[in-house]
Structures are given as structure tokens and as C-alpha cells.
């Protein structure tokens, strides 16, 4: 007898980790759901001239400066073009000659490089076997590598010499690496401009490169990885910063095989991803570099179709692809699309005894246009009767084995239930089950699979029908399947009723219900906030409503809404009683006792009129009829209010101390005032105090509140009361110091 089940269903995604499942082309999200793996997607529209453009036999170059100006080389016309970030105009670089061997003249310029630590554009002047560096501000020539190439452009084979250099890349330390095509190697130059002979020797000793065509460099902390695409070896090799080849755990040289017909050209890399152009199939491939995440697996960049001459990253989220021929580079968003196919399938599910497998229900977010989801199942009484799971690129499925039952491949159906039933009429109960789910996409969207619910030994709707329907069926499981169809229609509503409490939980409520739940709690949600922040605002609403109007509540709300760290002070908290010591001579015993008590009060020790004390704005007794009361200008007080007039000029006020750096954005002050006025008690007034990065003992010296230690003094602002030579400095960069900062074009500039 099988054991009695406490419940006749199971959720297969336990603890949000999908245990006992194999994933291919899917990514586990933070909330435990599954989505298709991300891939890059083309943002710009493909120009019509791109479709007839032939791939160039040699690479070009593309680079972007910190202002957003875009540069690309045009080897056929011996020039470098620039697209202005201001107005989008395109023009050749000024002061750079087109053709010729003289300094600042170019012949067949190819690779471009903008190091992160220098405002200098390096141009691989291939036809002249050299690299020229131009200052970005003036486009004047500041450096030539090697230095001897200024007057002699003949090729050379020794370290530091070039023979038809193609491209270059740099690491975070300012060292740069040059693909020397004619010498079939990669050369490293230090930030000082000197060739690194050790790198050259180690790379040559590895004897891996045959015909290298591209180089890219990534930096992860202190680790440098040099990626080299080699068309002769049909692979991408990886070297460290000293030129030693990387190896895997087994000691094998680490590499990514490349299709021998790929014609690789153009390469860019991050620590996790490598992009490589394939001019044979006119596409860009995206390779995975993260260990443990399918190292070397690749997908195509969605939407790009054309030749590739160069690639470069703008940021970790975007890169430019230069097709060549002088055409404007095209922008690609990293992670902006999805792979076309992915699947998850389980190991053998065994409850320990035969059961009637009933239904497999997929719980997922509503499908959007271009996103599809199918579920599959197979039941058997044989433990090793494992259905095959293998990607079929022609049929575009992982579940081509005919043993798999499926809901309906090729449709965007949102039916969540799949009736498993019996596969053998003589054996209605099966012990083993395998299940799977397949996600497909057109590139722009992905289904989100949250869980799979497996039901077994279910009676379904059959017991609700007249008894005659419960007799042994003569038509197999037709009736149970028909009832399961209707049950599937109603289960969605029943499940929504069961999960109704989730709508009131800020952590679980669907995204579409966040505004609704916030309205119930009286919380104002900013649509620009991330979803996690919106949920946090709702979940903490009850706590902070109890502190609304308090100093701590003010500081928290301002920081949460605006991101500005402030300190709220109430002047009345800084006020205290003071008293002056009386005369030692007393007129009576009571006065003598009071004078002695005042003399012993510690407040009287520092009470010096005009220095540490000030007169109160009003009499502590308030207005007294016949003495201090003035018609229409005084207010009578009760005995319980004695002393309150002493604090009338500081009561019901507060100050908000704000660092000046937090108000750099023009909208910051308006946002700050809006939050203060929405949260302040109606009977109070406030004042915003901007704290400059200063420290003055006795005036502005509370570290972490109104003073900042370290950093250069701020520049003087005209019209703000600054006096030259008194707590003020002129703006601008400090001058270069001889012997310390005298490398022209790097740390110093001639005025």
C-alpha cells in the first residue's frame, strides 16, 4: 500500500532554486523565476547602404570620448572622422593630414584607442607602421610610437617595431597592446611608452598565434586578460598581463574555438562577455566568458546584419559596431534582447510508488507579444525509460522526442494546465515522471516561468457528475481529459482566490497592483523609483507614519525620497535656562538659601551676560496688566504657561542642514522643499542651511554634520561675499611641477 499523502500536489521550484532541473538558455532571476538568457540587440536602424557593403579585408577603428563624441577611421580615404555629440555633425579630424609620411599625416589608419587615464586619441597609422597620439582638446600631435617612426616609417621585426599594425587596446593601468599583423604577434607598451620585452618573449614562447587579426583587453580588479582572435588557428586565445597563456583547471590552454569560415574582424570584451564580428555570415557573435556559466557558448547579436570592421564599448551596457566603408558606427545595447530558445527539464520524479499523474500547471507572468511557453511531460513505469532532451535547430525545440507530451508547440497559448493522464490503458498508474518547459522568443521579450505545479491522484470533476459516469470507461481517458479541460478554465480563478492574501503583501503583490496597494496605505509612489524601492515604501509605511513630523522621520523621508542626506535641528533643543550668581549678602534667610542654591548651580558658572548668554525676548510672566501689557500687542498667559515667552523666538522652528554637493542637480532644491513642506507640521516654519565643504573650529566643526575633512578648498564664487585672499581660492587646475608633472600630453600641458 502506498503511504497516505498529506497533499496530492507538489511545486517543483522549491526555495526559488529549481532543484533537480537542468537549464539551457535560461537564467535564474533573483525572485526564483526563469527567463531566457539575455543577449545584445541593435538599437540603431540598419542603413540601406549596409546591405550591399562588402566586408573590408582589414579592420578599422572606433572610439568614444567621455563627452560622447564618436570617432572612426576610414582607411581608404586616409582619415579619421568625428561625429559631434552636440549637433551630430560629421567631419574629419582637424590638424590631421590625409595621406603622407610626415608626423600628423596618416596612411591607412585603422585601430583607434582612447585610454581611460588620458585625454588622447591613439591612431594606428598602419601604412606608416606607427601609432600617433593626438590631444583631444586641440588635436595636436603629442606622441609617436615607436619614437624612431617620426622620420623612418620602414617596417621592423624587433620588439617596439611594427610591420603593418592593425588594432590596439589598453588596460586600466594605461598599458596598451598592439596587434602587429605583419609580425604575427601582439606587442605591449607600458604607460611610459616603452616596449615590454618580457611580454613579447612570453607570448612568442607560447607558440600559439598563427595569424592574429584582433586584440581586446579586459581588467578585473588587478587581473588583466588579453584576448587575441587568430584566423589561422580558428580560435580566440587568452593571455595574462605578462604574456603567459591562460589555462583551465586541467592545465589545458584556454581558448574559444571559432568557425574556420567565420572571417573574424572587430572584437571587444568585458570580464564576462566577448563580442566578435563574423564577416562570412555578416553577424556579431556574443561569447560567454564567465566560468561556470557555459564558458565559450555564443549567441548572435539580435538585429545586426552586415560586415564588421571594429567594435568598442561605450559602457558595460552598450557598444558601437563599425561596419567599415566610412559609414557611421551603429549602437548596440548589451542585454537588450533575449536568445531565441531555452529549456528546463527535470530529473526523474519518483514518489516511491505508482500514482495517477493528473496535471502539470505552469505558473508564469502573462505572455507578451513575441514570447512563448510550452510545457512537456512523460510518465513511465520503467526507471531508465528517459526521454531525450536535445536542441534541434531546425525544429527549434529541445523536446523533439515523440515520447514527450506537449501542450502545443508553436502557439502563444496562455492555457496553464496540461493534462498528463495515462499513457498505458492497462496500467493507469505510473511510478516515474519527467517534465520540462520550453521558452521561445522573437528577440525582444521573454516569458517568465515562476513555478511548475504537479498534481497526482486527483479525482478532478468526475465525482461531481452522476454515478453512471464513474463506471469503467470504454473510451479510455477521454472523459477525464474533457473534464480536465474545463477544470483548467476554472482553476485560474480558483487559484486567484486562493492567492488573494498575496495582493496585500508588499513583497508578493504583482507589479500591476503596487499603485493600488500604495493608495490603500496612503503612500505616494514615484513612478521613476525602482520596483524594489516602491515595495519598500509600502512595507515601511506604517512604521514611518508613526514617526511622521519627528526629526528622525524627517531625515529618513528626505533621504528616501530625494536621496539627499540631511541633518534636522530644532533651535529650541539648543536652548537652556541660565542664571547669574546673586549677592552674598541677603536680606533674609529665604533669600540667602536661594542665593546659595544659584551659586552651586553649574549653569551659573558659565553665565556671563553678553558673552555666553542673551536676554529673553519676553518676560517669563508674559504680559502683566497695568505693568508690561500693551494694547493690541500683548498676550496674557496662565500659570501653567509660565516661562514659555522666553522661547517664543525659537519655538516651532527647525533647520535642515544640506551638503552643497547634494544640490548639484538643478531639480534637487525643488524636490527637497516639496518633501519638507509635505511632511512638516502645519504650525512650524523651516530654514534650509547649505553646508559648504569647510571646517571652522567653534563655528562649523561637527564632523559628519556640518563639516567635511579633506579635499581641496572650493573655488571662489563671485557675488557671494568672498574676499580674495581670505578663505578663498581661484578655480582651475594647479600648474604642473617640474620634476613631478612634466610629461607633455599626459600630466602637463603647455599653455
- Is the pLDDT at 27 greater than 50, yes or no? yes
Cα 308 to its chain centre, rounded Å, is: 27
Alpha-carbon distance 163 to 183, whole Å?
Answer: 6
Alpha-carbon distance 29 to 344, whole Å?
Answer: 14
pTM of the model: 0.61
> pLDDT tens digits, residue range 430-456?
899 999 999 999 888 999 999 999 988
Contact present, 397 and 345 (Cβ < 8 Å): no
Q: What is residue 601's predicted lDDT score, i.e. its pLDDT?
A: 57
**pLDDT confidence of 159, banded at 50, 70, 90?**
confident
Contact present, 481 and 411 (Cβ < 8 Å): no
Q: What is residue 545's predicted lDDT score, i.e. its pLDDT?
A: 85
Residues facing residue 268 across a β-bridge: 275
Q: Which of 704, 677, 700 is nearest to 688 (CA)?
A: 677
Which DSSP string corresponds to 577-621? -------S--SSHHHHHHHHHHHH-GGGTS--BTTTB---SS-TT
Task: Give the list of residues 6+ apart from residue 447 with CB closer than 8 angstroms, or none.
Answer: 35, 36, 364, 365, 367, 371, 372, 373, 439, 440, 441
- Grid coordinates representing 205 are 614562447
Residue ranges of E strands in 75-115: 79-83, 90-92, 97-98, 105-106, 109-113
Q: Which of 364, 377, 392, 510 is nearest to 455 (CA)?
A: 377
Task: Tell which wins on pLDDT, 251 or 736.
Answer: 251
Q: Of 199-203, 693-697, 709-713, where does the model show the most confidence? A: 199-203
> pLDDT tens digits, residue range 601-644?
555 555 555 555 556 666 665 556 666 666 655 666 666 766 66
Q: What is residue 120's predicted lDDT score, i.e. its pLDDT?
A: 92
Contact present, 74 and 90 (Cβ < 8 Å): no
Domains of the chain by start residue, with CATH: 40-338 (2.120.10.30), 353-498 (no CATH), 512-564 (no CATH), 723-751 (no CATH)
- Is the pLDDT at 554 greater than 90, yes or no? no
> pLDDT tens digits, residue range 286-335?
998 876 556 888 889 999 999 999 999 998 899 999 999 999 999 999 98
Of 174-178, 411-415, 519-523, which range is least confident?
A: 411-415
Cis peptide before 390 (omega within 30 of 0): no
- Is the pLDDT at 598 greater than 70, yes or no? no
- Grid coordinates representing 127 are 601604412
Region 591-596 average pLDDT: 60
Q: What is residue 633's predicted lDDT score, i.e. its pLDDT?
A: 59
SS3 category, 437: strand
Tell the burial category of 375 from Cβ atoms under 10 Å away from its Cβ (0-12, 13-18, 19+).
Answer: buried
Q: What is residue 228's predicted lDDT score, i.e. its pLDDT?
A: 96
Amino acid at each position: 500500500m502506498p503511504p497516505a499523502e498529506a497533499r496530492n500536489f507538489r511545486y517543483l521550484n522549491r526555495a526559488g532554486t529549481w532543484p533537480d532541473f537542468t537549464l539551457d538558455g535560461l537564467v535564474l532571476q533573483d525572485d526564483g523565476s526563469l527567463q531566457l538568457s539575455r543577449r545584445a540587440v541593435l538599437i540603431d536602424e540598419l542603413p540601406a547602404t549596409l546591405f550591399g557593403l562588402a566586408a573590408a579585408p582589414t579592420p578599422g577603428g572606433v572610439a568614444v570620448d567621455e563627452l560622447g563624441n564618436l570617432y572612426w577611421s576610414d582607411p581608404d580615404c586616409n582619415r579619421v572622422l568625428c561625429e559631434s555629440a552636440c549637433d551630430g555633425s560629421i567631419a574629419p579630424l582637424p590638424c590631421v593630414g590625409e595621406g603622407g609620411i610626415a608626423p600628423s599625416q596618416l596612411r591607412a589608419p585603422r585601430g583607434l584607442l582612447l585610454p581611460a587615464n588620458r585625454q588622447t586619441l591613439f591612431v594606428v597609422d598602419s601604412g606608416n607602421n606607427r601609432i600617433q597620439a593626438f590631444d583631444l582638446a586641440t588635436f595636436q600631435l603629442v606622441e609617436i610610437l615607436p619614437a624612431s617612426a617620426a622620420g623612418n616609417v620602414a617596417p621592423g621585426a624587433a620588439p617596439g617595431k611594427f610591420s603593418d599594425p592593425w588594432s590596439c587596446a589598453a588596460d586600466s593601468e594605461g598599458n596598451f597592446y598592439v596587434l602587429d599583423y605583419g609580425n604575427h604577434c601582439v606587442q605591449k607598451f607600458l604607460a611610459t611608452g616603452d616596449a615590454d620585452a618580457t611580454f613579447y618573449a612570453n607570448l612568442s614562447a607560447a607558440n600559439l598565434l598563427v595569424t592574429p587579426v584582433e586584440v581586446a583587453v579586459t581588467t578585473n580588479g588587478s587581473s588583466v586578460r588579453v584576448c587575441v582572435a587568430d584566423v589561422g588557428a580558428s580560435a580566440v586565445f587568452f593571455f595574462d598581463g605578462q604574456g603567459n597563456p591562460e589555462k583551465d583547471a586541467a592545465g589545458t590552454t584556454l581558448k574559444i574555438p571559432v568557425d574556420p569560415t567565420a572571417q573574424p574582424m572587430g572584437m571587444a570584451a568585458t570580464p564576462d562577455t566577448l563580442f566578435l564580428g563574423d564577416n562570412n555570415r555578416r553577424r556579431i557573435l556574443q561569447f560567454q566568458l564567465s566560468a561556470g556559466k557555459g564558458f565559450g557558448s555564443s549567441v548572435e547579436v539580435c538585429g545586426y546584419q552586415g560586415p564588421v570592421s571594429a567594435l568598442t564599448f561605450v559602457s558595460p551596457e552598450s557598444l558601437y559596431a563599425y561596419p567599415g566603408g566610412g559609414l557611421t558606427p551603429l549602437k548596440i545595447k548589451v542585454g537588450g534582447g533575449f536568445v531565441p530558445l531555452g529549456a528546463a527539464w527535470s530529473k526523474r520524479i519518483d514518489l516511491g510508488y505508482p500514482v495517477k499523474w493528473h496535471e502539470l500547471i505552469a505558473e508564469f507572468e502573462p505572455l507578451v507579444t513575441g514570447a512563448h511557453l510550452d510545457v512537456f511531460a512523460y510518465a513511465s513505469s520503467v526507471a531508465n525509460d528517459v526521454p531525450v532532451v536535445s536542441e534541434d535547430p531546425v525544429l527549434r525545440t529541445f523536446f523533439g522526442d515523440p515520447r514527450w507530451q506537449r501542450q502545443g508547440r508553436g502557439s502563444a497559448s496562455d492555457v496553464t494546465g496540461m493534462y498528463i493522464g495515462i499513457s498505458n490503458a492497462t496500467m493507469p498508474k505510473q511510478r516515474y515522471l519527467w517534465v520540462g518547459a520550453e521558452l521561445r522568443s522573437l528577440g525582444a521579450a521573454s516569458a517568465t516561468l515562476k513555478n511548475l505545479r504537479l498534481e497526482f491522484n486527483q479525482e478532478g470533476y468526475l465525482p461531481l457528475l452522476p454515478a453512471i459516469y464513474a463506471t469503467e470507461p470504454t473510451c479510455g481517458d477521454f472523459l477525464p481529459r474533457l473534464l480536465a479541460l474545463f477544470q483548467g478554465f476554472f482553476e485560474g480563478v480558483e487559484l486567484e482566490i486562493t492567492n488573494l492574501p498575496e495582493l496585500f503583501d508588499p513583497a508578493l503583490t504583482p507589479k500591476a497592483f503596487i499603485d493600488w496597494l500604495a493608495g490603500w496605505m496612503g503612500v505616494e509612489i514615484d513612478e521613476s523609483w525602482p520596483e524594489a524601492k516602491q515595495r519598500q515604501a509600502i512595507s515601511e509605511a506604517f512604521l514611518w507614519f508613526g514617526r511622521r513630523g519627528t526629526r528622525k522621520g524627517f531625515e529618513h523621508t528626505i533621504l528616501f525620497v530625494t536621496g539627499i542626506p540631511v541633518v534636522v535641528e530644532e533651535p529650541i533643543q539648543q536652548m537652556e535656562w541660565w542664571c547669574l550668581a546673586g549677592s552674598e549678602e541677603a536680606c533674609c534667610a529665604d533669600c540667602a538659601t536661594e542665593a546659595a542654591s544659584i551659586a552651586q548651580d553649574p549653569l551659573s558658572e558659565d553665565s556671563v551676560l553678553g558673552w555666553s548668554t542673551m536676554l529673553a525676548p519676553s518676560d517669563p510672566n508674559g504680559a502683566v496688566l497695568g505693568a508690561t501689557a500693551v494694547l493690541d500687542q500683548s498676550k496674557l498667559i496662565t500659570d501653567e504657561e509660565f516661562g514659555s515667552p522666553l522661547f517664543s523666538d525659537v519655538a516651532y522652528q527647525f533647520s535642515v542642514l544640506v551638503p552643497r554637493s547634494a544640490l548639484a542637480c538643478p531639480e534637487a532644491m525643488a524636490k527637497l522643499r516639496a518633501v519638507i513642506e509635505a511632511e512638516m507640521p502645519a504650525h512650524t516654519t523651516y530654514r534650509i542651511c547649505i553646508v559648504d565643504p569647510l571646517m571652522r573650529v567653534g563655528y562649523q566643526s561637527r564632523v559628519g554634520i556640518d563639516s567635511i575633512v579633506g579635499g581641496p578648498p572650493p573655488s571662489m564664487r563671485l557675488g557671494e561675499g568672498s574676499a580674495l585672499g581670505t578663505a578663498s581660492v581661484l578655480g582651475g587646475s594647479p600648474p604642473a611641477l617640474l620634476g613631478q608633472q612634466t610629461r607633455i600630453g599626459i600630466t602637463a600641458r603647455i599653455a
